[in-house]
Structure 1
Amino acid sequence: MEYALGVDIGGTKVAIGLVDKTGFVKEQSIIPTDLSIPPEDMIYRINSEIRKIISKTDLSKGELKGIGIGAPGPLDIKNGLITCPPNLHTWINIPIQRLIEKEFPYPVKLENDANAAALAEKWVGAGKENENFIYMTISTGIGSGIMVDGKLLHGYRGNAGDVGHMVVDTSFGKCTCGQYGCLEAIASGTAIATEGSNIVGEKLTTKEVFDLFKEGHPQIVAYMEKVLRVLGIACVSLINTFDTEKIVIGGGVSKVGEPLFQPIRDYVEAHALNPEGRLTEIVPSKLDQNTGVVGSAALWLL
């Protein structure tokens, strides 16, 4: 059996898993992303978890093909660098590929985390039957992986699909990237929890904001209707631009289910330019929270 290690680096946590050639996660570890320490120290912790996972499994020589890293952009995937991600604000030009590769006798590949997740959806998830689809993650931040004619759209440096910093409504204020009205600053889990807490006057999680939305809290309903409209605008823009078959939505926010998905579908049905585009499927990920790990491992197993 062939295996690969997938490392999914996020703004709040890092997931590390051993994945087999069917996409099954055999072993997994999740550790918090500590932004109070130097990036090199955080990578040391990641390497320690990789060692633990390898030590738990009795792999014969040659079974482990390599280590795949999915990380938030901007990246320089040609040189293995995390360059300046807004949600990892101290990670500037970090040679993560080299820092992991030097600790293990395995080759390492770096990929944008949303691109890696799109690979996972194509391999064993909701995009398995599609040659043209977009995976959009809504979590700490927002990003996307764009599959065109069965291949990932990378762009010049590997950063294509960074839709979280697509400006959709400047009235919502300033984003961490410096622009006003970015999708991520409006509709990420972080943004929803922050603004929902401000409205109610107490600290809320994203789920609790959605719970109040479902319960009909007047101010939260008015706010969330704007957020969901913005997500609909973003999906229509992607459909109009890429003429895609399907948009797969993953990440923690997607777990709220139909209160998220149905308003987006309604907006797309009303506003996509092409009549066929209005029928674009808007579906949840089929991989729960393992999308990033499976996708990072897919860099070696596909």
Structure 2
Amino acid sequence: MNNIICIDIGGTAIKYGVINTEGDVQCTRETPTEAKKGAAALTEKLRHITRELLAECPDAGGIAISTAGVVNSDEASILHATDAIPGWKGTSLRNELAEFSLPVEAENDVNCAGLAEYISGNAQGAKSALVMTIGTGIGGCYIEEGRLLNGHTYSACEVGYLPVDGTAFQDLAATSVLSATV
């Protein structure tokens, strides 16, 4: 039974740990994202997290990353991102973590949330599911008959980036924006 290092990069916190292929959580941790420090600082933090988890779980068979932005899941790279993480666009997570000689997979964080709901949450057993998240940003995911629909540009259902009066929807209506105006 292989263990997988799992890292969820959120706007405020990075949640990480090890999960085995049966879905059993081996350990979990959390650390501030410090996103404004930029992509270089964030990728160094990812290397530190990976070293930490490999010291405890040297049999890990891969690294799975969930992150904001438009993610080319075939290449584990960031195609588009807001300025929430300066320099994140263009980051190749496989290249950044190549020193560990482990397979690295990456997917948009809302797509991961949608897949989790479809596999074992409220959308389990549904023919199709539309999942949205509203937090630091706004994201969407659509699953049809067990298949995540990313689109040919990996941006299907990226509702947060939709323009509303010349501004991205999430820049007007995300929880982080609305709570700052109260």
Shorter-chain TM-score category? Answer: 0.7 to 0.9
TM-score, length basis structure 1: 0.55
Q: In the alignment, what sits opposite 1:297? A: none
- Distance in 2 between the 1:49 and 1:28 partners? 11
The one-letter code of the counterpart of 1:2 is: N
Whole-Å separation in 1 of the counterparts to 2:32 and 2:2: 28
Give 1 or 2: higher helix fraction. 1
Rg: which structure is higher? 1
Q: In the superposition, relative to structure 1, how do residues 158 and 84 fare at CA in structure 2: closer, same or farther (>3 Å)?
A: closer
Deviation at 1:107, TM superposition (A): 0.5
Residue 56 (structure 1) shift: 2.1
* Bigger strand fraction: 2
- For the structure 1 residues 130 and 27, does the alpha-carbon distance in structure 2 shift closer, same or farther, using more than 3 Å as the test? same
Deviations for 1:193-220, whole angstroms, at most 9, x for unmatched residues? Answer: 1111xxxxxxxxxxxxxxxxxxxxxxxx
CA contact (8 A) 2:37 2:85 kept: no
Q: Which residue does the alignment assign to 2:49?
A: 49
- Which residue pairs with 2:89 in the alignment? 92
Calculate the TM-score normalised by the size of structure 2. 0.87
Aligned to 1:146: 142
In 1, distance between residues paired with 2:79 and 2:146?
Answer: 28
Aligned twin of 2:122:
126
Contact 1:66 1:107 in 2 (8 A): yes
For residues 72 and 36 of structure 1, do their structure 2 counterparts lie closer, same or farther at Cα, with a shift above 3 Å needed?
A: closer
Alignment-derived partner of residue 39 in structure 2: 39
Higher RCO (C-alpha under 8 Å, 6+ residues apart): 1
Q: Once superposed, what is the RMSD of the aligned Cα atoms?
A: 2.1
Question: What's the counterpart of residue 181 of structure 2?
Answer: 195
Residues 132 and 138 of structure 2 are in contact (CA less than 8 Å); yes or no, is this contact kept in structure 1? yes
The 3 A distance-change label for structure 1 pair 37 and 167 is closer
SS in 2 for 1:103: helix
Q: Which runs of 4+ in 1 moved over 6 A?
A: none
Partners of 2:41 and 2:177 in 1: CA distance:
28
Unaligned runs of 5+ in 2: none
The Cα shift of 1:143 comes to: 0.5
CA distance in 1, matches of 2:53, 2:109: 21
Q: Which ranges in structure 1 are unaligned for 5 or more consecutive residues? A: 171-178, 197-302
Counterpart in the other structure of 1:281: none
Give me the identity figure in percent. Answer: 26
Distance 1:24 1:124 in 2: 13
By how many angstroms is 1:180 displaced?
A: 3.0
Superposed displacement of residue 40, structure 1: 2.2
Q: Distance in 1 between matches of 2:172 and 2:36?
A: 25
Partner of 1:266: none
Other structure's SS at 1:83 match: strand
